[in-house]
């Protein structure tokens, strides 16, 4: 049977986080996440309720965040991107937690059609992506859902992007890097919810550790 992806949103914008900040990108946001980060900015993507399924057009044209989703095949997704006339050549697969499902058919089809792929993931599920897919791991420590960061995800990561608000988050990150023996992967600190204190802590810690700052540019610009 052809795999269908449960999609909460599909839109074109500027990548606002991490190494690709500033890059025009098409975002595919998958529904569903059990990790349950208390400060998650996309809580509407957590629940997968069958009664929340909507048509592809209703999903594409929604004007406010909602937990509705539409089931699309890879072919449907490519057709939608073409029909919308999007110009971006970079596709960000996010969620929710997109790594809960097999993303290889999606990556392969997108790459065949000339797109580059990027995955945004918590690293708590085995990654099923193409070899060329850029993997952004945002490791989650002690979240309510009880999921643990996988060694395979930490090792596969092309960048590690860590949301921070407290010194504890910095200590958690250092412990993770040591535990998984990560030395060369570029690390980004991302202040949680643009809070002033979180941003000051992120700047200080980036300078101390030679990490980079990621400030969720889209939120400062008021774009999606």
Ligand X SMILES: C[S@@+](CC[C@H](N)C(=O)[O-])C[C@H]1O[C@@H](n2cnc3c(N)ncnc32)[C@H](O)[C@@H]1O
Residue 67 is labelled as binding a ligand: no
Residue 24 assigned to a binding site: no
Nearest CA to 60 out of 82, 43, 33, 40 is that of 82
Structure token pair of residue 137: 């791991």
Six-digit token pair at 89? 């050549």
Cβ–Cβ under 8 Å, residues 120 and 146 = no
Q: Is 150 in the site for ligand SF4 (CB under 6 A)?
A: no
Contact call for residue 199 and ligand X (CB under 6 A): no
* Interaction between residue 218 and ligand 2KA (CB under 6 A): yes
| Binding flag, residue 39, ligand X (CB under 6 A) | yes
Beta strands in 177-220 (DSSP E): 186-191, 212-213
39 marked as binding residue? yes
Task: Provide the token pair at 202.
Answer: 């992120």
Residue closest to ligand X when measured from CB atoms:
138
Site string for ligand 2KA, 35-54 (x = CB under 6 A): -------x------------
Q: Based on the shown chain and the rule CB under 6 A, indicate whether residue 32 belongs to the binding site for ligand SF4.
A: no
82 in a known ligand binding site: no
Nearest to 88 by CA among 58, 70, 113, 120: 113
The reply to whether 40 sits in an annotated binding site is yes
- 27, 13 contact by CB (below 8 A): yes
Q: Which of 155, 153, 165 is nearest to 196 (CA)?
A: 165
Q: What is the end-to-end Cα distance of the chain in Å, rounded? A: 34
The residue from 40, 133, 157, 215 that contacts ligand X (CB under 6 A) is 40
CB of 165 vs ligand X, minimal distance in Å: 8
- Out of ligand X, ligand SF4, ligand 2KA, none, which partner does residue 32 contact, by CB within 5 to 8 A per kind? none
Residue 15 touches ligand 2KA, criterion: CB under 6 A: yes
Task: Extract the annotated binding site for Mg(2+).
Answer: 42
């Amino acid at each position: 049977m052809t795999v269908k992806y449960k999609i909460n949103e599909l839109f074109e914008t500027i990548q606002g986080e991490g190494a690709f900040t500033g890059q025009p990108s098409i975002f595919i946001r998958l529904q569903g996440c059990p990790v349950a980060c208390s400060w998650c900015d996309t809580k509407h993507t957590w629940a997968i309720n069958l009664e929340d399924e909507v048509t592809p057009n209703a999903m594409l044209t929604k004007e406010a965040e909602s937990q509705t989703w539409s089931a699309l095949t890879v072919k449907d997704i490519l057709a939608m991107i073409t029909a919308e006339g999007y110009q971006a050549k970079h596709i960000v697969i996010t969620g929710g937690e997109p790594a809960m499902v097999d993303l290889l058919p999606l990556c392969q089809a997108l790459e065949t059609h000339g797109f580059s792929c990027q995955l945004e993931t918590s690293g708590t599920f085995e990654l099923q992506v193409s070899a060329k897919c850029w993997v952004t791991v945002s490791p989650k420590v002690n979240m309510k859902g009880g999921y643990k960061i996988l060694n395979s995800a930490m090792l596969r990561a092309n960048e590690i992007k860590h949301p921070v608000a407290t010194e504890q988050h910095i200590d958690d990150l250092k412990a993770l890097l040591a535990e998984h023996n990560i030395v060369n992967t570029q690390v980004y600190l991302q202040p949680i919810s643009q809070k002033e204190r979180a941003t000051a802590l992120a700047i200080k810690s980036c300078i101390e550790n030679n990490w980079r700052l990621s400030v969720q540019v889209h939120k400062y610009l008021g774009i999606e």
